[in-house]
Amino acid sequence: MNAWRTVAMSEEFHAPGPGDFDYPPLFGWFTKPMLIVVLGTLVVGAFFYFASRRASIVPGKLQFAAEGFYGFVRNQIAADAIGREGIKYVPYLATLLAFLVALNISGIIPPLQFPATSKIAIPLFLAVISWVIYNYVGIRRQGFGGYFTNMMFPSGVPPLIYPLLAPIEFLSTVVFRPVTLTLRLTFNMFAGHLVLLLCILGGEFLLLHVRGLVGFSAGAVAILFGIVMTFFEGFIQLLQAYVFVLLSAIYIGGALTHDH
């Protein structure tokens, strides 16, 4: 302890924590996460507007990118998870994926460098939209009683299991699905941003505020690890946007079919 104090001189390193996610307002009540949400919306809107404005049979570069994106959602997510009826839900799923990718990837884009989805309100709102859609679709397809009966009493199960299974299935569909959708995205982004903060701030502290070779080499390793983690975090951000959309599609598909 004392040896560490003398190495670290008089200053002490303050590890990043949940407090680093509270930004002071830029002006009025407008904070940095809000700015990222607005920017993300504008970027996604502009991308699809300019990609589809002069749509031609032989696509240009932008149109090709948008068609590839839309085709990915249609063939890899909607067709696999929902089936033939999935085509109807592709506009929602594609918008959701584009919006989530824009908000997640802002965590590694230099001037922003904060994943807006690590604020729980944004994933919560999107999860509630998905929750409303799959419950509405299920109730419309199977009727109110039919939907809950098929959900809580799936066929092909011994009747003795029903007292145990019915409450679990009900809670899982109505409560746990939106909650886990929200928490999974929020805390993936939260934990990833915290790891990046720790690597970069800790590396900076070791490089600049700790004297000697030990501090310098440890700081260089920490900064390099931070760079590697930045790319890994970019991968995680794309993957989590995909997982959110895939699970939404699977829930919609499950509500459309009678037995899962």
Partner 1 sequence: MEGSLNMVGYGLAAIGPGVGIGLIFAAYISGVARQPEARSVLQGIAILGFALAEALAIIGIGLAFAL
* Stretch 169-208: interaction string toward partner 1, x if CB under 8 A: -----------x--xx-xxx-xx-----------------
* 81 contributes a contact to partner 1 by CB under 8 A: yes
**Chain position carrying tokens 């995909």:** 242
Q: Which of 247, 252, 255, 256 binds partner 1 (CB under 8 A)?
A: 247
Is residue 247 within 8 Å of 173, Cβ to Cβ? no
Q: Render 137-164 in DSSP notation, one character per residue.
A: HHHHHH-HHHHHHHHHS-TTS-GGGHHH
* Stretch 39-78: interaction string toward partner 1, x if CB under 8 A: -------------------------------------x--
* 12 contributes a contact to partner 1 by CB under 8 A: no
* Encoded tokens for 129: 């939209």
Q: Which of 105, 109, 166, 250 binds partner 1 (CB under 8 A)?
A: 250
In the bound state with partner 1, the residue whose beta carbon lies nearer, of 190 and 205, is 190
In the bound state with partner 1, the residue whose beta carbon lies nearer, of 39 and 243, is 243
What is the distance between the alpha carbons of residues 185 and 123, in angstroms, rounded to a whole number?
Answer: 7
In the bound state with partner 1, the residue whose beta carbon lies nearer, of 35 and 243, is 243
* 124 contributes a contact to partner 1 by CB under 8 A: no
Alpha-carbon torsion angle 78, 251, 126, 132, nearest 10: 120
Is residue 66 within 8 Å of 46, Cβ to Cβ? no
Alpha-carbon torsion angle 199, 205, 207, 212, nearest 10: -130
Summarize as ranges the residues that interact with partner 1 (CB under 8 A): 1, 18, 76, 80-81, 180, 183-184, 186-188, 190-191, 239, 242-243, 246-247, 250
